[in-house]
Amino acid sequence: MKPHFTFHIAHLVMPLMLAACGGGDAPSASGSPPVAIVTAPAAFATNLVGNLTFSASAIDDVGVTGIEIQLDGKRVGSVGVTSPHQVSVDSNAYAPGQHVVRARATDAGGKVSEWDTVTVQFGGSRSVPAWFNRNPTWITGLNAATAFAQTPDGRLLVAEQDGALRVVKNATLLTTPMLEVKVNSQGERGLLGVAAHPNFAGNGYVYVHYTSTENTIHNRVSRFTVTGDVASIEEELIDLPTLVATNHNGGAIHFGTDGKLYVAVGDNAAPSNSQNLNSPLGKMLRFNDDGSIPNDNPFCTTNGNLACAVWAYGLRNPFTFAVNPDTGRIYINDVGQNTWEEINLGIPGANYGWPESEGPDNVNESFTGPLFTYKHSAASPAGSGPGGFFVGFSVAGGTFYPDAGPFPANYRNSYYFADFIGRFVGRFDYSNNAAYAFATVEDRPVDLLAGIDGALYVLTRAGITRISAQ
Ligand SMILES: [Ca+2]
Ligand SMILES: [Ca+2]
Domain at 91, CATH number: 2.60.40.10
Average pLDDT over residues 207-213: 98
- Tell me which of 276-285, 294-303, 383-392 is least confident: 294-303
**Per-residue pLDDT at 405:** 95
- Boundary-marking domain end, from 122, 154, 171: 122
Domain check: are 256 and 283 in the same one? Answer: yes
Q: What is the pLDDT of residues 410-425, one digit of tens each?
A: 999 999 999 999 999 9
Ligand nearest to the CA of 107: 1
Task: Give distance in angstroms: CA of 425 to centre of ligand 2.
Answer: 21
Average pLDDT over residues 283-303: 93
DSSP per-residue letters across 143-160: SSEEEEEE-TTS-EEEEE
Domain check: are 81 and 193 in the same one? Answer: no
Cα–Cα distance measured from residue 39 to residue 44, given in angstroms and rounded to the nearest whole number:
12
3 state SS for 418-459? EECCCCEEEEEECCCCEEEEEEECCCCEEEEEECCCCCEEEE
Ligand nearest to the CA of 108: 1
Per-residue buried b or exposed e for 134-164, using 16+ beta carbons within 10 Å of the residue's own CB: bebebbeebeebbbbbbbeeebbbbbbbebb
Average pLDDT over residues 241-256: 97
**Per-residue pLDDT at 301:** 76
Residue 5 has pLDDT above 90, yes or no: no
- pTM for this prediction: 0.93
**Per-residue pLDDT at 9:** 36
**Per-residue pLDDT at 453:** 98
Task: Give distance in angstroms: CA of 267 to centre of ligand 2.
Answer: 13
Task: Give distance in angstroms: CA of 359 to centre of ligand 2.
Answer: 5
**Per-residue pLDDT at 20:** 38
Cβ neighbour number for residue 325 with a 10 Å cutoff? 14
394 touches 421 (CB < 8 A): yes
> pLDDT-based confidence at 15, cuts 50/70/90?
very low
Ligand nearest to the CA of 361: 2
Query: Which of 26-40, 303-317, 340-354 has the highest average model confidence (pLDDT)?
Result: 340-354
Domain check: are 285 and 344 in the same one? Answer: yes
Task: Give distance in angstroms: CA of 319 to centre of ligand 2.
Answer: 14
Average pLDDT over residues 115-121: 98
Ligand nearest to the CA of 335: 2
Residue 363 has pLDDT above 80, yes or no: no
Helix (H) or strand (E) holding 222: strand 218-227
Task: Give distance in angstroms: CA of 5 to centre of ligand 1.
Answer: 21
Task: Give distance in angstroms: CA of 16 to centre of ligand 1.
Answer: 9
**Per-residue pLDDT at 29:** 74
**Per-residue pLDDT at 28:** 59
Task: Give distance in angstroms: CA of 209 to centre of ligand 2.
Answer: 24
Ligand nearest to the CA of 343: 2
Q: What is the pLDDT of residues 318-341, one digit of tens each?
A: 999 999 999 999 999 999 998 999
- Tell me which of 162-171, 342-351, 357-366 is least confident: 357-366
Task: Give distance in angstroms: CA of 295 to centre of ligand 2.
Answer: 27
167 touches 194 (CB < 8 A): no
Residue 14 has pLDDT above 90, yes or no: no
Domain check: are 108 and 174 in the same one? Answer: no
Protein residues with C-beta less than 5 angstroms from the ion ligand 1: 30-32, 60-62, 107
Domain that holds residue 41: 2-122
Ligand nearest to the CA of 63: 1
Domain check: are 293 and 263 in the same one? Answer: yes
Domain assignment of residue 127, yes or no: no
Helix (H) or strand (E) holding 19: helix 2-21
CATH at 210: 2.120.10.30
Domain check: are 183 and 90 in the same one? Answer: no
Average pLDDT over residues 299-305: 82
Average pLDDT over residues 263-272: 98
Domain check: are 76 and 143 in the same one? Answer: no
- Boundary-marking domain end, from 122, 144, 172: 122
The whole-chain average pLDDT of the chain stands at 93
**Per-residue pLDDT at 24:** 42
- The 3-state DSSP class for residue 9 equals helix
Cα–Cα distance measured from residue 54 to residue 41, given in angstroms and rounded to the nearest whole number:
6
Ligand nearest to the CA of 341: 2
> pLDDT-based confidence at 350, cuts 50/70/90?
very high
Domain check: are 402 and 353 in the same one? Answer: yes
* Percent with pLDDT over 90 in the chain: 91
